[in-house]
């Protein structure tokens, strides 16, 4: 959850957000106003947002959907899936436009069959939107960049 602090004079400081690093999975506290200023991870010093979907599986996936204070957009896909491969460049372009308001990730359902089963992924590609560990929207089927952007933004307002 976003946090708000006050200084010694009692003035409210900017809300802070927990952001999980896509590289080392450290949880960082970032002032909301600094999200667009290319913040870096306090542990590994790499960019918290690089405009590319993060490849996740297992415990890494759970940490990202549970600990990020921003919505997490997930592409459940498989390497053998033609529509998944066709959608990949559109998803990457969408990631560049959605970050830092969203964490954008990909889950290979062949490599992470446990996650595919846990989230009852029945067709791929499937997009899912998570907020604070809870799935809030799901959309099966391939989309282009404009479709991905519109779907993610519309479902983030709910």
DSSP structural state of residue 154: H
Cα distances from 22 to residues 64, 85, 120, in angstroms, run 8, 22, 24
Angle (CA) 129 104 132, round 5° = 45
Q: Which helix (H) or strand (E) holds 103?
A: strand 103-108
| Three-class DSSP category at 136 | strand
Q: Which helix (H) or strand (E) holds 92?
A: helix 82-98
Q: Note if 21 is an active site residue.
A: no
Residues 6+ apart with CB under 8 A from 88: 77
Token code pair at residue 92: 């990457």
Q: Note if 84 is an active site residue.
A: yes
- Residues forming the active site: 81, 84
């Amino acid at each position: 959850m976003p946090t708000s602090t006050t200084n010694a004079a009692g003035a409210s400081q900017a809300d802070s957000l927990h952001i999980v690093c896509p590289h080392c999975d450290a949880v960082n506290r970032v002032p909301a106003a600094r999200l667009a200023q290319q913040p870096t991870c306090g542990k590994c010093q790499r960019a918290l947002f690089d405009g590319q979907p993060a490849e996740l599986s297992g415990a890494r996936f759970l940490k990202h959907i549970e600990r990020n204070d921003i919505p997490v957009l997930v592409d459940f896909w498989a390497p053998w899936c033609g529509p998944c491969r066709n959608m990949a460049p559109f998803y990457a372009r969408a990631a560049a436009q959605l970050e830092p308001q969203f964490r954008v990730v990909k889950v290979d359902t062949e490599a992470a069959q446990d996650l595919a089963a846990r989230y009852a992924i029945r067709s791929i590609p499937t997009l899912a939107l998570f907020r604070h560990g809870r799935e809030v929207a799901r959309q099966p089927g391939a989309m282009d960049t404009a479709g991905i952007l519109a779907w993610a933004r519309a479902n983030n307002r709910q």
